[in-house]
Amino acid sequence: MQDKKHISVVAGGAGFIGSNLCRRLLHDGRHVVCIDNLSTGCFDNVQSMVGDDFEFIRHDITEPLPIGIHADEIYNLACPASPVHYQRNPIATTKAAVIGTLNMLELAKASKCPILQSSTSEVYGNPNVHPQTEDYNGNVNPVGVRSCYDEGKRCAESLCMDYHRQYGVNVKIVRIFNTYGPGMASDDGRVVSNFITQALSGLPITIYGDGSQTRSFMYIDDLIEALVRMTATAKDVTGPVNLGNPDERSVNELADMVIALTGSHSRLIHTPLPKDDPCRRRPDISLAGRLLGGWHPIVELEDGLCKTLEYFKTKTKGKNLANVYNC
Ligand code: NAD
Ligand code: UDP
């Protein structure tokens, strides 16, 4: 008789990180149940996986989950993540982060299984401590335009820890720093996808503010490895744990690198810095290294950008990207 397969439920599985994770879990021999409302994700991202070991359920996790779902492990990634997306309908964003997480925690409680919660470096807001360590409580504007996401994710962390303390749920909170790679949508609005698609189409590269603000960019494969390792940790490992690449770069540096790699003739233009845009971001990942068997990112920014470039070249072939940017 064949062994029953381990069931991985991935909420937000049709998005950028989710679809890469689903592919990895399938490859590892899991039965994957992908739940997504396709608000920012896309069925194309998962279509090729659909089969005996991959189920797709179109569902909004702010609504009670369909009856009959069982899980052996849960990854909760369902929430818009690009500032452009999460600010478009901020109330829906808070609901996805808070009510959505509550529903996923209920599933974890009923299934008695681990749940990985995708939190974010945004919980640190505009940080006064640099690099950011997990014990820094952050500097978030609670009433600003980013707070639907930042505070929503902070509340989700708090819910996870209360489910752990009150009901003994095996929670795993990871604070993900800026991640990029194949699977991102062309109209995602985040800096890496914007710069690459702009460079490929000869459109101006849009630097917000003077471009001196920094981020630390992690390639998707490095993140996926850490997510899988985190879910397999012992029950007393709840996190929060930072997951990111400490290689900190300014937005100007990123623009220069994308221009050099593409050979693009795009010009650089400066537009106003969005409100509450954090000035700098760099993770301290020593805790992740200790808990996740020496995990650390291995993909250099230039290599990761080259792979992402190839992905976008294929994806945008023959498309008029001016429509994406309303130019
Ligand atoms: P994404 O927008 O590509 O993916 C999010 C997915 O969740 C999409 O498929 C979307 O359709 C789905 N979704 C959104 N709201 C939903 C809802 N209410 N019900 C069901 N599905 C819903 O973004 P991503 O970059 O893949 O991010 C995935 C997760 O990782 C998010 O929770 C995000 O906060 C977190 N994260 C990402 C980054 C990053 O750099 N990519 C950084 C920090 C945290
Ligand atoms: N950014 C930019 N041009 C763009 C998109 C973003 O200069 O076309 C900047 C943005 O202001 C921020 C950084 O790049 O300082 C990262 O932005 P992103 O939206 O990717 O992520 P987040 O702000 O959530 O870290």
Catalogue all structural domains in the chain, each as residue range(s) with its CATH number. Answer: 7-179+218-243 (3.40.50.720), 182-215+246-282+300-315 (3.90.25.10)
User: 78 CB under 6 A from ligand 1?
Assistant: yes
At residue 124, what are phi and psi to the nearest 5 degrees? -85, -10
Catalytic residue among 86, 149, 163, 180: 149
Question: Which residue from 17, 251, 268 has its CB within 8 A of the most atoms of ligand 2, so it is best to mutate?
Answer: 251
pLDDT value at position 325?
Answer: 39
Confidence of residue 326 (pLDDT cuts 50, 70, 90): very low
Contact between 17 and 79 (Cβ < 8 Å): no
pTM for this model (two decimals): 0.97
Helix/strand/coil for 297: coil
301 vs 22: CA distance, rounded Å: 24
Find the mean pLDDT for residues 93-122.
Answer: 98
Amino acid identity of residue 66, one-letter, is: P
| Residue 322, pLDDT above cutoff 90 | no
Find the mean pLDDT for residues 121-137.
Answer: 97
CA 213 to centroid of chain Cα atoms:
20
1 vs 145: CA distance, rounded Å: 55
Find the mean pLDDT for residues 189-206.
Answer: 98
**Does 149 qualify as catalytic in the annotation?**
yes
At residue 308, what are phi and psi to the nearest 5 degrees? -70, -35
Per-residue pLDDT tens digits for 156-169: 999 999 999 999 99
**Dihedral sign from CA coordinates of 94, 90, 322, 276:** negative
Helix/strand/coil for 34: strand
Per-residue pLDDT tens digits for 26-56: 999 999 999 999 999 999 999 999 999 999 9
User: 215 CB under 6 A from ligand 2?
Assistant: yes
- Of 100, 84, 215, 103, which Cα lies nearest the Cα of 152? 100
Find the mean pLDDT for residues 182-211.
Answer: 97
The chain-wide mean pLDDT, for the chain, equals 95
**Dihedral sign from CA coordinates of 152, 154, 160, 165:** negative
